[in-house]
Amino acid sequence: MPATDASLDHLENSTQDDVSLAAALQERFLTVCERFQRKWGMDIEFPKEITQAIFAWRTCVARYRKKDFRHKASEKKYVRILAQWTVDENCKLCGTPIKKIEFGD
């Protein structure tokens, strides 16, 4: 039986960059949500992938707060997806060009 993605998704050590990205995302994500609410008078309805990304990000942050600096590959992927989505939405709300985040690995 071939290995599935889930069976390969084990905890691995997080770099300082991984931890910093997850932490920095907190303020920026909340700012985007607040800006959207002020501009449109309603809460953002998150696409399914972003909802999954939020869950993965919160899981990482909870682990980091317990001083367990590890993540799964899927969590790292979703944190990066959420970071890019947050930048995209902020740029749209502010009327600025969308910037692509370049991750250094």
Q: What pLDDT, in 10s, does the model give residues 44-101?
A: 999 999 999 999 999 999 999 999 999 999 999 999 999 999 999 999 999 999 999 9
Which residues sit opposite 12 in a β-bridge? 71
Note the pLDDT of residue 7. Answer: 59
Cα dist from 75 to 1, 35, 41, 92, 103, whole Å: 25, 26, 31, 25, 15
Can you list the alpha helix ranges (DSSP code H) found in 41-72? Answer: 48-65
Outline where DSSP puts E strands in the chain. 11-13, 70-72
pTM higher than 0.85 = yes
